[in-house]
């Protein structure tokens, strides 16, 4: 998806910058990056600093930044949809109509990026950007501190104490799926897409996992 976008805009003053939030470190993300063979920069954020700075809570999320270094669209869902919530648990596949709808939504987001680069469409004025930027609360900042402490403890072999701080981080910032998933992946028997993840997704009810971007 992102490589295709980069290729389509090769002649424009534009680049994708991908950031992998991977608490297990660069070597965990390296095979995926090498398999994709991207022509754009791929960075590793093992401490989730990007999420803390921009208020990101899930992946994939994107922020659009113009040539002046100004945010013209704050973090939002980037091409993903909630269709995955209707996946067949036995076959792990989507019905054809749902699969098509997901591809249509992804294509619409990519087209919006192209339109922005070529014409400036979809860029927001600064007052609108400020209004849409997530407000970083004291609990969110404290959650980030507990999360990074948990990562440090986990890397140094103190899994029990790390688990305590992971739990505190999720309690303080329950909207952050990034914190939840990375904590799950760092647990000895945890899976990012395991039963605990699906239980949490089902608990959303009518609330979206991937809020659609307001384009």
Question: Looking at the 3D structure of the chain, how many domains does it have?
Answer: 1
Position 154 in a domain: yes
- What's the pTM? 0.90
Supply the range of the domain harboring residue 178: 138-202
Position 174 in a domain: yes
Tell me the pLDDT of the chain averaged across its residues: 92
Position 171 in a domain: yes
> Given CA atoms 198, 200, 201, 204 in this order, what sign does their dihedral have?
positive
Q: What is the pLDDT of residue 28?
A: 86
**For residues 133-144, average pLDDT:** 94
pLDDT tens-digit series, residues 28-60: 889 999 998 999 999 999 989 999 999 999 999
Query: Residue 109: which of 73, 81, 78 has the closest Cα?
Result: 78
Position 147 in a domain: yes
Position 143 in a domain: yes
Q: From the CB of residue 144, how many other CB atoms can be counted at a distance below 10 Å?
A: 22
Residue 73 confidence class, pLDDT cut points 50, 70, 90: very high
Position 192 in a domain: yes
Residue 33 makes CB contacts below 8 A (sequence gap 6+) with: 20, 42
Position 170 in a domain: yes
Position 127 in a domain: no
- Pairs from 90-93 (Cβ < 8 Å, separation ≥ 24): none
Q: How far apart are the C-alpha atoms of 42 and 40, rounded to whole Å? A: 7
Cis? peptide before 60, omega within 30° of 0: yes
């Amino acid at each position: 998806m992102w490589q295709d976008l980069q290729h389509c805009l090769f002649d424009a003053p534009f680049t994708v910058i991908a950031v992998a939030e991977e608490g297990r470190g660069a070597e965990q993300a390296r095979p995926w990056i090498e398999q994709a063979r991207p022509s754009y920069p791929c960075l590793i954020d093992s401490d989730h600093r990007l999420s803390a700075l921009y208020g990101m809570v899930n992946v994939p999320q994107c922020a659009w930044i113009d040539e002046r270094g100004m945010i013209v669209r704050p973090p939002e869902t980037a091409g993903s949809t909630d269709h995955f919530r209707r996946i067949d648990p036995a076959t792990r596949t989507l019905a054809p109509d749902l699969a098509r709808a997901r591809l249509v939504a992804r294509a619409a987001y990519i087209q919006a990026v192209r339109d922005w680069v070529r014409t400036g469409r979809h860029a927001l004025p600064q007052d609108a950007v400020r209004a849409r930027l997530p407000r970083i609360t004291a609990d969110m900042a404290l959650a980030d501190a507990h999360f990074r402490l948990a990562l440090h403890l986990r890397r140094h072999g103190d899994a029990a104490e790390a688990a305590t701080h992971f739990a505190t981080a999720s309690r303080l910032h329950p909207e952050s799926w990034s914190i939840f998933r990375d904590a799950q992946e760092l647990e000895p028997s945890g899976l990012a897409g395991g039963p605990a993840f699906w239980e949490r997704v089902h608990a959303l009810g009518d609330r979206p996992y991937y809020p659609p971007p307001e384009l």
